[in-house]
Amino acid sequence: MPRKARLDAPGLLQHVIARGIEGREIFTDDTDRRSFLGRLANILEETRTQCYAWALIPNHFHLLLRTGPTPLSQVMRRLMTGYAVSYNRRHQRAGHLFQNRYRSIVCEEQTYLLELVRYIHLNPLRAKLVNDLTELDHYAWGGHSVLTGKRTNPLDATFMCHTDDMPEIGDSERNVKTLADVTVEEVLGHFGANLTDARHNYRKFVEKGIRQGRRNDLKHSGLNRAAGGESPMVSGESDPKRELTDDRVLGCSEFVARVIEEHGDSDQIEPENKVPLAELIRRIVKHCGITMAQLHSRRRQTNISMARSIISYFAVDVMNYAGTELAKELRISRTSVSKAALRGKELADANPELWDLVG
């Protein structure tokens, strides 16, 4: 069944989750984690994307983002493709690193912002990466330690993430506020006007969330759920008006309706920055230095096979064009398109600049 279009527009709050293929680790050691955070920090600053919460677990990661002018799909493509290439090169491996697409859930801010900040930041404790809240206060690979003031924010693009360890607070001083600094202040602003009080109240809020365990009402998208939680913004009572559902949205029925009306059709097929097929083929043919006649020939020269592979991957796997449609355009069989798409994925993973052809 065709996938629904992602809901993506400037200013939307989105909970993003990406997992390793077959549940495998995507962060093997601290060097991997620093590499990921350094890349994320630069991308956030360049695209003016805010990150309110984050947690790195060995086989997946959570981000709570608010996009700026750059679409979420471009932000995540740069992050995941670039990191996968770096990871594969460092660990001398090939193939997919992440499992399918990332998940993104548009969230109603008034009700869920603080609940999600808490839920995401408690992930390392639930995953038993730390033993208790005191250890979590100093845990380097989640945003909780930044909000409690125990560690410098690694998502500040001015902070270099290639040091031997993530520094404790005070190891780095800044005179100019970055987007990352502003975002931290925005979260803490919900807990008090005074920084010391805000950090204390935030930590108490997180502590209350420990006993809640795994929050399926936050983990899974859709409606028709009791809100739950301890936040003063969440009543914990079911709302009989909450009838409209969409697995891409977390919020009340009115919020779901408004998001779909303003930002997307619930029956729309995901375009993923869809380029007209003829234009996509033209761009890749030109990039590979061949002619359309050569593309349609039966020759098996390296650059011709490469062009077919790249076209097949971006057209079928990324932009959801029908394989039969592409097979006619390339004058090859549907089975050949499928095989070519697999090779194209490997080429795109190894050469992130290919994504510029479909931007």
Q: Which residues pair with 51 in a beta bridge?
A: 65
Residue 16: other Cβ atoms inside 10 A: 19
- pLDDT in the model for residue 213: 65
The tokens for 329 are 């355009």
The answer to whether residues 148 and 139 touch, using CB atoms and an 8 Å cutoff, is: no
Parallel, antiparallel, or unpaired: how do β-strands 13-19 and 60-66 relate?
antiparallel
CA distance 104 to 16: 4
Phi–psi pair at 153, nearest 5 degrees: -75, 110
Maximum CA extent, the chain? 71
Q: Give the DSSP per-residue string, 249-265.
A: EES-HHHHHHHHHHH--
Residue 214: other Cβ atoms inside 10 A: 11
At the second CATH level, the architecture of 13-263 is 2-Layer Sandwich (3.30)
The answer to whether residues 202 and 188 touch, using CB atoms and an 8 Å cutoff, is: yes
CA distance 214 to 75: 28
Exposed/middle/buried for residue 291 (C-beta within 10 Å: 0-12, 13-18, 19+): exposed
- pLDDT in the model for residue 171: 44
Phi–psi pair at 45, nearest 5 degrees: -65, -45
Residue carrying the six token digits 């559902």: 245
- pLDDT in the model for residue 301: 87
The answer to whether residues 33 and 27 touch, using CB atoms and an 8 Å cutoff, is: yes
CA distance 41 to 50: 10
Kindly give the confidence (pLDDT) of every residue in the chain, 359 residues in length, as a single tens digit, with 9 standing for 90 and above: 345 666 777 888 999 999 998 889 999 999 999 999 999 999 999 999 999 999 999 999 999 999 998 889 889 988 998 898 889 889 988 778 998 778 898 888 888 999 999 999 999 999 999 999 999 999 999 999 999 999 999 999 775 444 445 555 444 455 678 899 999 999 999 999 999 999 999 999 999 999 876 666 665 444 444 333 444 344 344 444 445 567 788 877 887 778 777 776 533 434 444 678 899 999 999 999 999 999 999 888 889 999 999 999 888 887 778 888 999 999 999 899 999 999 998 888 788 778 777 75
Residue 76: other Cβ atoms inside 10 A: 22
Please, what sign has the CA dihedral across residues 234, 237, 239, 242?
Answer: positive
Q: Tell me if the pTM is above 0.85.
A: no
The answer to whether residues 153 and 184 touch, using CB atoms and an 8 Å cutoff, is: yes
SS3 22: helix
- pLDDT in the model for residue 134: 96
Sequence ranges of the domains in the chain? 13-263, 277-358
- pLDDT in the model for residue 257: 78
SS3 69: coil
- pLDDT in the model for residue 216: 65
- pLDDT in the model for residue 154: 95
The tens digit of pLDDT for each residue in 163-187 reads 445 555 444 455 678 899 999 999 9
CA distance 343 to 310: 8
In this structure, what DSSP letter does residue 62 have? E
CATH 3.30.2130.10 fits 277-358, yes or no: no
The answer to whether residues 330 and 296 touch, using CB atoms and an 8 Å cutoff, is: yes
Nearest by Cα to 260 from 246, 274, 273, 272? 246
